[in-house]
Amino acid sequence: MNIAISMAGRKRVAVIGGGAVGVSTALWLQRDGCEVTIIDPNEGLGEGASFGNAGCLNPSSIIPMSMPGNLSKVPGWLLDPLGPLTIRWQYLPKIAPWLMRFVAAGTEPRVRKQASALKGLLHDTVGLYQELAEPDASQKFIKRNGHLIVYRTQAEYKNDRLGWQLRREHGISFDVLDSHELHQLEPALSRDVNVGIFFPHNGYTTNPNALVRALGENFLHNGGVIKQGTAKDFIFQDDKLQGVMVNDTIMQTDAAVVCAGARSLPFVRTCGDNVMLDTERGYHIMIKNPEAVLNRSIMDATGKFVATPMEFGLRLAGTVEFAGLDAAPDWRRARILTKLGRALFPSLLADYPEERLSLWMGFRPSMPDSLPVIGTSRRSQDVVYAFGHGHVGLAAGARTGLLAADLVMQRTAHIDISAFSPRRF
Ligand SMILES: Cc1cc2nc3c(=O)[nH]c(=O)nc-3n(C[C@H](O)[C@H](O)[C@H](O)COP(=O)(O)OP(=O)(O)OC[C@H]3O[C@@H](n4cnc5c(N)ncnc54)[C@H](O)[C@@H]3O)c2cc1C
């Protein structure tokens, strides 16, 4: 074993990217006694996908995106202007290989393996964040009120049979509520909604960006360094990492963890690996002082979006848009969410003045098999990958950080990570 150390005798680690995954990684590494620097081009942490997500901390989100039977639904989704999926046709040639892998990932045996891997990664997400955050921040930003998935009809619910079976097999507890119980729990819900699945142990954050920032404050307080800049390349000597090129200067380091979300690919290529990372762009719209009051995050299984009561209003978040990292946002995708929101919560208004709305688009870092990449690089074990969490990167961030710290410290990972291998394709 050859662990390089700084002059002060502590291992220096550069964490590339200050989202939910990066900041969690940095905090766990500090607990291992490392000298940690987070590198991020933004002025504050949590400005990437971790900024505007739906805030769900759901250990129950073990069901991958590609499921048996989904392919037949795609044409309907693409043709529906309110549908959950869109592809910019110019991007189709680029995304085609990813989409083929995505479809191939959706067989029942593969889905079973993916669900099992996600179960390990998402387990106790709320508890881990509570451990990483200061009690004040934890109390302010993390709620443990459970989570609801709602359906219009029993038939729709039964259509998702495999997902429910897998959750049961993995010991995830939930209650199936009838219409009466459901509306008692969430009176703002439309009477068209008849089935609700309640996960009593799930949680959510009232402000994902503020949670990441609070974790960043904690990191600074423990002696961490945040360096504003863009990491561009690695400097190696043989198989040892010597430094990270940040803007135009070399930052010396003994190890690096790539947590750059949807922008992680250049680092992987530099290290001789090749993974199928792309982005599923998603949108949110926030309504200030909403007419509908919610007690927890609610996923609409029909509209495929999540409504979460947040610090500054009601957030409606979701949709998948394949258009890559460079195309301008299509804000119609965000505005669609108000229509879908009103169908779920009839007390919301049909039209809002712009000052009551805020819109956001972000880049989910997505792999076709819905599993992140967590492992060491081919080039050197000093470079660790921790990205590609798609729809569950907030929830999975805390445990991913713990796993990344295991790898940096060259310990056996505390759960089986073979399914997340960078060389699994
Ligand atoms: C609409 C929507 C709703 C969602 N809802 C949920 C949800 O409810 N629950 C959930 O668990 N997940 C959800 N997600 C997914 C989740 O937001 C992401 O999986 C997660 O935020 C990814 O975190 P990350 O730290 O890997 O990436 P990011 O948060 O994107 O952070 C990556 C960071 O890397 C930095 N970076 C990029 N390039 C460089 C570079 N060269 N050098 C240095 N730094 C760099 C970026 O500036 C950024 O800060 C949702 C996503 C969307 C879009």
Would the CATH topology of 12-49+210-276+370-420 be identical to that of 60-204+277-366?
no
**What's the CA gap between 86 and 74, in Å, rounded?**
9
31 has a pLDDT exceeding 90: yes
Ligand 1 site residues, Cβ closer than 6 angstroms: 16-22, 39-42, 47-50, 53-56, 230-231, 259-261, 263, 282-284, 306, 317-318, 362, 364-365, 387, 389-395
pLDDT band at residue 229 using 50, 70 and 90 as cut-offs: very high
12-49+210-276+370-420 falls under which CATH superfamily? FAD/NAD(P)-binding domain (3.50.50.60)
13 has a pLDDT exceeding 50: yes
2 has a pLDDT exceeding 50: no
3 has a pLDDT exceeding 50: no
Confidence (pLDDT) at 1: 37
Instruction: Tally the residues of the chain.
Output: 425
Q: Mean of the per-residue pLDDT values for the chain?
A: 95
Residue nearest to atom 18 of ligand 1 (CA): 393
Confidence (pLDDT) at 425: 84
Q: Which pair of tokens denotes residue 362? A: 């972000």
**What's the CA gap between 315 and 20, in Å, rounded?**
19
Confidence (pLDDT) at 8: 64
Q: Can you give the residue ranges of every domain in the chain?
A: 12-49+210-276+370-420, 60-204+277-366
Question: One-letter amino acid identity for 22?
Answer: G
DSSP H or E segment with residue 37? strand 35-40
Between β-strands 313-322 and 85-87, what pairing exists: parallel, antiparallel or unpaired?
A: parallel
Confidence (pLDDT) at 6: 56
79 has a pLDDT exceeding 50: yes
Domain 60-204+277-366 classified CATH 3.40.1410.10?
no
Q: Confirm if 390 and 134 have CB atoms less than 8 A apart.
A: no
Residue 177 alpha carbon to ligand 1 centre in Å? 33
Residue nearest to atom 31 of ligand 1 (CA): 19
pLDDT tens-place string over residues 179-209: 999 999 999 999 999 999 999 999 999 999 9
Residue 391 alpha carbon to ligand 1 centre in Å? 9
Q: Which pair of tokens denotes residue 224? A: 């961490």
Q: Which atom of ligand 1 is nearest to the CA of 23?
A: 25
**What's the CA gap between 15 and 257, in Å, rounded?**
5
Q: Confirm if 21 and 259 have CB atoms less than 8 A apart.
A: yes
Q: Which atom of ligand 1 is nearest to the CA of 389?
A: 19
Phi and psi angles of residue 29, each rounded to the nearest 5 degrees, phi first:
-65, -35
345 has a pLDDT exceeding 60: yes
Residue to substitute in 394, 399, 400, 403 for testing ligand 1 pocket (most ligand atoms within 8 angstroms of CB) = 394
Confidence (pLDDT) at 340: 96
153 has a pLDDT exceeding 60: yes
Residue nearest to atom 22 of ligand 1 (CA): 393
**What's the CA gap between 352 and 335, in Å, rounded?**
11
**What's the CA gap between 306 and 287, in Å, rounded?**
14
